[in-house]
Each structure stands twice: as C-alpha cells, then as structure tokens.
Structure 1
Amino acid sequence: MTIFLYELQNCIDVSRVESTAAHDKPPRRRDRPPREAKPLHKTSPKQPFLPDRAGRRRAQTAARRREPHAAAKMVLAQLGGSISRALAQMSNATVVDEKVIAECLNEISRALLQSDVQFKMVRDMQSNIKRIVDLESLAAGANKRRIIQQAVFSELCNMLDPGKPSFTPKKAKPSVVMFVGLQGSGKTTTCTKYAYYHQQKGFKPSLVCADTFRAGAFDQLKQNATKARIPFYGSYMESDPVKIAVEGVERFREEKSDLIIVDTSGRHKQEAALFEEMRQVAEATKPDLVIFVMDGSIGQAAFDQAHAFKQSASVGAVIITKMDGHAKGGGALSAVAATKSPVIFIGTGEHIDEFEVFDVKPFVSRLLGMGDLSGLMNKIQDVMPAEQQPELLQKLAEGTFTLRILYEQFQNLLKMGPIGQVFSMFPGFSSELMPKGSDKESQAKIKRYMTIMDSMTDAELDSTNPKLMSESRIIRIARGSGRLVRDVMDMLEEYKKLAKMWSKMKLKIPKNGDMSAMTRNMNANNMSKVIPPHMLKQMGGIGGLQSLMKQFGGGKDISKMLGGMGDGN
C-alpha cells in the first residue's frame, strides 16, 4: 500500500482538480440565444466605473482584511522548506568548506528566527552545530554533508525534547490532570480532545469546569463533553473555582473515573489574581500532571508566557494547538525551552479527533522533508488488517490490479486522515507542495471516483482491463453516478496510470510464501521507477533511496514498505 500511496501523489494532482460546480454546469442549448451580457460594475455619480483589474485588487484587499492570519498560513511548512533548501544547497556544493557551512547555518538560523524561535535558542543551536561539525577534526573521507544534516536534525530534536518523560495516566488508577493556558488558546476544546483520546484507549475520563471567569465556558465544555459522551461537572451558580474543582474531583473519584480533567480559567502573565487562583486550584486538587496549553501561532511571546506559567504551577507537559494552518512553529520550541517540559500532543484542527500524539523525531523528520516511514507503517496497519495484506500483494504480483483493489485502497487512504498529513510522511515530500485547501479537494476527488465505481458491475470492478468499456457503457455509468462523462474518463485514466505503475514493479512472490526471497528481488532500481521524479530527486536520487532502504534493515523491512507482510515464516 505504501508504493500505491507514492504513485497516488501524482494521480491526485490538486492542480488538476476542477471544481464540482464547473463540472456540473450544463451545456448551453444551441437553439437558445445567448443572454445579453450585464455590466460588471454599476456606475453612479458616487461610484465611478472601476476596471476589472482594480475591482479584483479591491476584492483581494478586502479578503486579506477579513482573514488576518492569511499571510502567516503554512509558515510551519515554510520553515521546514527553508531548512531543507539550505541543506540541499549545501549538498549541491562541489566542496563543503567553512564558507559553505556558514552559509547553510545562516539560512537555517534566518528561517528559525522568522518562525519566531527565540534568538538565544537559535544562537546556541548554531554554536553547537559548529562545534560538532569541525572540519579540521573530521577524518579524511568522512561524509561531511551527512554529518551536517544529522547535526541539524539532532539540534532541532534537542530543542523540542527536554530529556525527561511526562506523567502518563494509567487505567483503573485515578489521575487528576489540570489544564492551564492563555485566554483563547483553545484550552477548553483541548480538554475534551484529551479526554476523548484516552476514552478511545479504554480509559474512563471525566471533565470538571473550574473556569468561572469566562462567560459561556461551562456551556462550551458541556456541549463538547455531551458530543463525546464524556461525564462532566460544573455549576452556573457557584463562583468559587476552587470549590467547584474540589467537588468535581471528589464526585468523579467516587464514580471510579480513572482520568479526571480539570479545566481552569484562561489567564495572561500580567494577571496576578488569576495566577493566584490557579495556584489555589492546584493546591486543592493536587493534580498528578499540569498541562500548559499554548496557541501555536503566538510567536515571540511564547517564551515569556510559558515561563510565567512554569513559575506559578509545576507544568509537566505542553500541548500545542492550532497547528493546522497559521502556526509558525517557533512558539513550540520556545515553550519547551521555557517550561523544560515535553510536548505531548498537538491540535491539528477543530474536530475532536484532530489531535495527534507528539513524537519529537518523526515531527522534526517530517519538518525537514525526511519523512516518517515508521508512522506511515503504523497508519497502514491501523486501517488495513494484517490478514488482508498477503492476499492483496499476491494479486498485485500476479498483475491483477483491478478497480475493486483501487476502490479498497481509496477507502484505506480516507481512513488514514488528511491526505497532506499522510503524504508528509514520505521522504522527500514537502508540505509546501500541497496548496491551500488541497486536502479537501483531493478527498472530494477520491469520493467522486468512488461514487463512479459504485455504479459499476462486479464484472467491471474485477476486470483486469476495464479501459475497454464501450462509449455507451461509460455514458450509462456517468448517468447512474450523477457525474459527467469526463469524470468517468478521468477515473479510468488514473486507474490506467496505477496499473502501469504496478507492471513496472515486476514483483516475484515465491509459491511457498517466503517473503524474504521476494524482497531479495527488490532493489532501488525497481523502487525508483514508481517514485515520482521530484520526490526521488529530493531523496538524493537512487543513491539516496539505497541509503534509505539500508536504514530500514534491507530486504526484510522493505517487505513492510510493500505491504506490511514481514517474513512470512
């Protein structure tokens, strides 16, 4: 399935995704005269006529005013892209000397500073890398480029990893977790996400609303908890947050809840009274863990704000919110440095399930375009049962890539989450390659193709050559699915591309099912035929691909990349 996803990046080309409205526009009847064109702008003494270009400029300016964060969107992806480009320029240099290294580090430092990482942190990182990459002390023949890349990777990981683990709740053992954070950081929503995540893991979570400062706080928590079917406690009448917190914790302890989450009032570092209130709630409830919720787009103020919370409460972990668009990412680094606490989750959207466990190395790896194949394997294992994988790979090896197989893989892909997020796990892929809104467009395109396949017969879905359909049959499929003939033709064209890709693989699976023998036949040359050219270039060509395959332990683990099948022993 992994290789299928590689090729799917080309097939689901969002630049070719046209709007459904444009597709569904009926053709003009030839016997009907065209309507008289209306002027684009109404003229009046108060409103002079504006040419088209000026009108567009005015509309664009108004749109920017309505969306103040538009200029900052995808800056996290730009940070990774800037660092990747700096490393790529160094790799393309004929000779890696002090000047090349200095230029590379300056570009990386500039990218981090533009992403609101604190200046002292950037300066320290630059000094550490220079100390590690000492050209005079390196042995002759050492791969300087690889050493520099690893040094940058390690320093970014060190920025985000304080070196101490966070408290982990345990089932059947009551734990109290207290949430603190700035006003508007998404703390109340994050409480529900945190509870829902652990509920899916078999915990019995509960929510206590001790936020009596913000109007509507209890209503919001009540609404979120009801949707997630999580028990909650709060009061419209009581104004003492300490009393509410104590009563809520005692009640849920009696009800055998093993994860009691206390939501507190949002506060600012200058609000001494609210910080005193936070200390009182912490003393009364004695939480096992205090989580600091931070808005990922807060910027340079993140360090000071996080430091103020650390002084008032024993912050043990950090959750970064709003990482789905306009987060610069530097605030995450600064918050870790200020609190000396690890980031445990990141919020990637408004929905309750848009909540990811934060793992430092995969995060930095994806940020630098190095991918996260282990995370990708986990996602594939989650959506595709292991017992189905040998059967699928056997069919593909026999050359029977059918529309039904394509349909099943589309289903698996949609289950894996946002497409851009999945593709960012591939080595060499940059989030900058995904335009704004491309996730929704790509998912809409996949669903459109699946709707078309729903109108096909079993014989057509299981055929190894559905492209021989007659024109009249294609028209009937279009009518039955409510799509245009052009959509059906596009879907068949995408199928043809994927079928051709599999024919290039030339996989040979032994009859005895020994997967290790099959993977010995697999090499970088075969893999390079199915990987998109731009991605192969970013991976360093066939040589870089060979290095990647070696990192995964050779043939045994390449079988996991192909379908998660293992040895077969």
Structure 2
Amino acid sequence: MFATLQDKLDSVFKKLRGQGVMTEDNIKEALREVRLALLEADVNFKVVKDFVEKVRSRSVGTEVLQSLAPGQQVIKIVHDELVLLMGGGEDNSLDLAAKPPVSIMMVGLQGAGKTTSCGKLARYLKSQRRKPLMVPADVYRPAAIEQLKTLGRQLSIEVFDSSSDQKPVDICANAIRYATLNGFDTVILDTAGRHQIDDYLMDELDAIKRAVEPREILFVADAMTGQEAVNVASGFNDRLDITGVILTKLDGDAKGGAALSIKAVTGKPVKFVGLGEKLDALDVFHADRLVSRILGMGDVLTLIEKAQATFDTKEAERLQQKLKKNQFDLEDFRAQLQQIKKMGSLESILGMIPGVGKAMKQMQGVQPSEKELKRIEAIIDSMTRKERADHTVINGSRRLRIAKGSGTSVQEVNQLLKRFSEAQKVVKQLQKLGPKGLMKGMKGMGKGSFPF
C-alpha cells in the first residue's frame, strides 16, 4: 500500500530539492502535484483541500522563502502536516485504566477482518501481561462462534462459551459476569458484522453498548475498501460514538486513502493496524512512523521494536561469538531465516530501512524474494546435522540427495553452497578490518555476496 503515492510524492520532492530559490509560484505548482497525488490515492477530497491549504499557508512564510534550503523546508512541512492529519501527537492508546474487567467492543462490516482482529488484539493484550477473555457474540454468521474458539485454542486464550440460539446482548452481559468471577481483566466482544449499515443490527449494537458500557468501541475498517471504509466509519461513529479504529489489510496493494482520511473525517484515532493474516501481525499505530515510510524515509523505530520482540538476546550473543570465530554455519543461517520470517514479509522489513525501499524498486529482480528464502530453507532442511555444521563434506552424491529432498535442482544446491562459502570469506575479511572496514566492505557488496 502507498507505493503509488510514495512514487508521486518522491517525484515532487525531487523537484523541490533541486530548487535553489523558492517562490510562491514554485510552491503553488508543487502543491498542485501533491494535491493530485493525494486525490489519486483516494484520500477524501475535503481532507485534501484542508491539508493543501495548511501546507501552503506555512510554506509561503518568510522563514521558508528566505531559508538556505527552502525545498527541504517545504518537504518538512508536508511531513509534519501529514503526521497531524493522521492523528500524530494525540494519545491513541487503549483506555484500560478502569476497574476490571474492562470491556472492548469490536464493530464493523462483514469481511473487514473483525473476528481475526479480536484474536490479534487478545494476543497483543496478553503480551502486555493482561488476561483477556474473548466473547463470540455474532450469532448470525455461520461458524463465527467456532472461528473465535479456534483462534482461542491457537493463542491459548479462553473464549466464552456461547451458542447461536442466544441473544447477543445476553451473551455479552453474561460474559462480563463470568469475567468478574474468574479474574479476567479485559473482555473483547466480537459483535455481529453486517454488509452495510443496518438499523436492526445497529440497534442491537446500541443495546450491547448500554448493557456492558464498554470502555472502548473499536471500529474495524478494511483499508482495501478506500473511501467506503471512511464513510462506513462515519456511520458507525454517528450511531455508537466509537473510540478508535483498527485498520486491517494495510499490507495490501490498495491506494491507502482510508488510512490518510479516516482520522480527519471521524475525529477518532487509528489505534492499531493489521499488516498481514498472521495473529502477530497487529501493530500499535504511530502516525509519524507511517508518514516516514510513505515519504520514503523508512521506519527504524518499528524495525528495532520488531527485532527486540523477535530475537533472543542470548542467541544473538552466541551468534556474535560464532561470527568472531568464523564458526557461523548453515544451521545458524537457517535459524536466522526463521527469525526474520517472524518479523513479517521481507519486503516490509526492508521497507523500514531508510533508502532501501527506493533502492528495492530500482533493483527489481536483484533483491531476494520470499520464494527464494523458502527454497533456501528447504535445501538446508534436507541436509543432515553434520552437513549443516560443515558444508564442505557435501559431495556430489549428497548434493543429489539434498536436491531431491528439497524439490530443487543440484544446480540450486551448488549455488547456495557457493554463495555461503563466499559469504563466510567476506565475514572473515571484515572481522579483520574492524568497524570501519565493515562499513566500507558492505558498500562494495553486490548480489551474490550472501547466500540468496
């Protein structure tokens, strides 16, 4: 998502950086292109109009026009205003400070990923040392109750027992009582979805709200639906006074207008974003980080947080020692591949590194793909422990066996072993050169320096 918008804004900013002197006409032309880029990204036209006017009024000031780098100043203003547009600087954390059990009511259209988001949110709360209870209150959709129970088993999180012949209001009220008696501090209510805003079901949601008095009412919006998600969010907000939004499918290939518009239109903050189908693919929303990624500036803070949550400190220290002694083997390499996969897609990880996202576009077909990484892992899995520890013992017959076992060719096995040997030599050389040599050596590395 945002790829097209990122390309268009990058083109505008390239022109701005090249301007030695800025005039009101220069700024007007640049903002015209910014406005078109945002409209093409399906951002609400009223939001675009207000945004462009705010940027224009700040950009034509003396401070910008007379600065040494006026183009950079305008880019900073666009960055800052985008952050404000998406709710930056405001508190978008969950309100969990009330007397337990605190109830969180999940609402939204069918197909937006509401039930899966319940599981993701429960997992996140569990990681924050809370004890959540998930409540299936959607009695209309076939298998909705069983879906939440399946998620509960996968996450080892309890799901309140309910059935399709019960009234949703009764399910929710009984779940709150059960949570109180059994020490749960958070209750997540998975309410019925709908294909469109329906008065009967909205009345039902209103009845649940009055019965349980939820601390949070989170609207789950499908970012792939663009402006329609914003319109529906406004409808739910008018009826229920939602407290926040969870944007799902932000890893998709839609234009991203919903993400940029929803806060401005509803006045309610985006609290979480879904970045994949896996149950750990839910991130706390940070407007400044997302804007930095849209503008091609990377998102190092999120990358660090993901790495800290994924990688084991002791394991990292062990690997560091093995690297120093030049003992890094294919077993270690496979373990690192598995850790990286836990952090998300390779494209999303590389996109968080400043400058790498742009370089990836320029190097189509050069950077490693998810498919290549899976093939490498399959090849290593087909090796014996002895072969992974010392790849030099792998002769012709062993290579044939490994190729057959991994569903690859002998040529692909040879290619991996060759690249791994080259990578070991590079690491050994860089260890001798020290930190400065490491940086210099990395700049000179091309495709083939590492085993993918």
Please, which moves more after superposition, 317-326 or 407-416?
407-416
- 8 Å Cα contact 2:329-2:389 kept in structure 1: no
- 8 Å Cα contact 2:403-2:410 kept in structure 1: no
Please, which moves more after superposition, 162-171 or 336-345?
162-171
Q: Which amino acid aligns with 1:233?
A: D
Q: Aligned pair in 2 of structure 1 residues 111, 531: CA closer, same or farther (>3 Å)?
A: farther
| Partner Cα distance (1:232, 1:77) in 2 | 41
> 1:523 Cα shift?
9.4
From 346, 367, 372, the counterpart of 2:273: 346
Q: Aligned pair in 2 of structure 1 residues 524, 133: CA closer, same or farther (>3 Å)?
A: farther
Aligned to 2:165: 237
Q: Which amino acid aligns with 1:473?
A: N
Q: Aligned pair in 2 of structure 1 residues 186, 435: CA closer, same or farther (>3 Å)?
A: farther
- 8 Å Cα contact 2:132-2:188 kept in structure 1: yes
Q: Please list the CA deviations of residues 247-301 of structure 1 after superposition, one character each: whole Å capped at 9, or x if unmatched.
A: 1221222111111111222246652232222211101101011101111122222
From 27, 30, 53, the counterpart of 1:127: 53
Alignment RMSD, CA only? 3.4
Q: Aligned pair in 2 of structure 1 residues 308, 150: CA closer, same or farther (>3 Å)?
A: same
> 1:419 Cα shift?
1.2
1:277 aligned onto 2:208: no
SS at the partner of 1:131?
A: helix
Aligned to 1:541: none
Aligned to 1:177: 104
From 59, 75, 85, the counterpart of 1:149: 75
- 8 Å Cα contact 1:87-1:149 kept in structure 2: yes
User: Unmatched 5+ residue regions in structure 1?
Assistant: 1-73, 510-517, 533-569
Q: Aligned pair in 2 of structure 1 residues 288, 357: CA closer, same or farther (>3 Å)?
A: same
> 1:95 Cα shift?
5.3
Q: Which amino acid aligns with 1:249?
A: I
1:114 aligned onto 2:40: yes
From 223, 232, 239, the counterpart of 1:312: 239
Please, which moves more after superposition, 151-160 or 499-508?
499-508
| Partner Cα distance (2:58, 2:426) in 1 | 43
Aligned to 1:476: 398
> 1:178 Cα shift?
0.5
Q: Please list the CA deviations of residues 14-52 of structure 1 after superposition, one character each: whole Å capped at 9, or x if unmatched.
A: xxxxxxxxxxxxxxxxxxxxxxxxxxxxxxxxxxxxxxx
Aligned to 1:367: 294
Aligned to 2:450: none
- 8 Å Cα contact 2:64-2:73 kept in structure 1: no
| Partner Cα distance (1:234, 1:282) in 2 | 18
From 484, 488, 498, the counterpart of 2:423: 498
SS at the partner of 2:417?
A: helix
1:443 aligned onto 2:373: yes
> 1:448 Cα shift?
3.2
Task: Return the TM-score normalized by structure 1.
Answer: 0.68
Task: Return the TM-score normalized by structure 2.
Answer: 0.84
1:265 aligned onto 2:192: yes
- 8 Å Cα contact 2:105-2:214 kept in structure 1: yes
Q: How does 1:73-112 map to 2 (within 5 A)?
A: 74=1, 76-93=2-19, 96-112=22-38
Q: Which amino acid aligns with 2:138?
A: D
SS at the partner of 2:63?
A: coil
Q: Please list the CA deviations of residues 357-397 of structure 1 after superposition, one character each: whole Å capped at 9, or x if unmatched.
A: 22222222222221122222233333333345456446656
SS at the partner of 1:297?
A: helix
Q: Aligned pair in 2 of structure 1 residues 99, 188: CA closer, same or farther (>3 Å)?
A: same
Report how many aligned residue pairs link the two structures: 438
SS at the partner of 1:338?
A: helix
Q: Aligned pair in 2 of structure 1 residues 103, 528: CA closer, same or farther (>3 Å)?
A: farther
| Partner Cα distance (1:296, 1:445) in 2 | 32
| Partner Cα distance (1:117, 1:234) in 2 | 40
> 1:485 Cα shift?
1.9
| Partner Cα distance (2:175, 2:12) in 1 | 52
Q: Aligned pair in 2 of structure 1 residues 108, 507: CA closer, same or farther (>3 Å)?
A: farther
From 250, 253, 262, the counterpart of 1:323: 250
- 8 Å Cα contact 1:310-1:338 kept in structure 2: no
Identity %: 30
Q: Aligned pair in 2 of structure 1 residues 303, 484: CA closer, same or farther (>3 Å)?
A: closer
Who wins on radius of gyration, i.e. which is larger? 1
| Partner Cα distance (1:397, 1:527) in 2 | 17
Q: Which amino acid aligns with 1:444?
A: K
Q: How does 1:381-420 map to 2 (within 5 A)?
A: 381-389=308-316, 392-393=319-320, 396=323, 403=330, 406-420=333-347
Please, which moves more after superposition, 165-174 or 214-223?
165-174
Q: Which amino acid aligns with 2:220?
A: V
- 8 Å Cα contact 1:165-1:342 kept in structure 2: yes
Q: Please list the CA deviations of residues 329-367 of structure 1 after superposition, one character each: whole Å capped at 9, or x if unmatched.
A: 211222212332221222223332332222222222222
